[in-house]
């Protein structure tokens, strides 16, 4: 299988979002926010490559949580 830049960044974005939610669960504010920053950076790169990316994010007691992301109309519930 040939890996593409899109595929690699998409996997990194999904991993970062999973980490955001995990560190919110573990109440680790610094790692929660750092991983959200990684997710936003990955999303911005994908947008620069011409893809449509939406990240649904909300805050709960200072911790960021991402229940879903949409990449090119593909909904991923996390």
Determine if the pTM surpasses 0.85. Answer: yes
Residues 6+ apart with CB under 8 A from 69: 13, 14, 17, 43, 53, 54, 55, 56, 75, 76, 78
pLDDT at 36: 98
Q: pLDDT tens digit string along 25-78? A: 999 999 999 999 999 999 999 999 999 999 999 999 999 999 999 999 999 998
Strand, coil or helix: what is 61?
coil
Q: What angle do CA 19, 24, 29 make, to 5 degrees?
A: 100
pLDDT at 1: 54
What is the Cα–Cα distance from 23 to 34, expressed in whole angstroms?
Answer: 10
């Amino acid at each position: 299988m040939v890996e593409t830049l899109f595929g690699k960044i998409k996997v990194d974005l999904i991993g970062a979002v999973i980490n955001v939610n995990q560190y919110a669960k573990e109440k680790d504010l610094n790692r929660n926010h750092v991983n959200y920053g990684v997710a936003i950076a990955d999303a911005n790169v994908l947008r620069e490559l011409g893809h449509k990316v939406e990240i649904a994010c909300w805050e709960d007691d200072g911790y960021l949580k991402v229940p879903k992301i949409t990449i090119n109309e593909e909904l991923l519930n996390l």
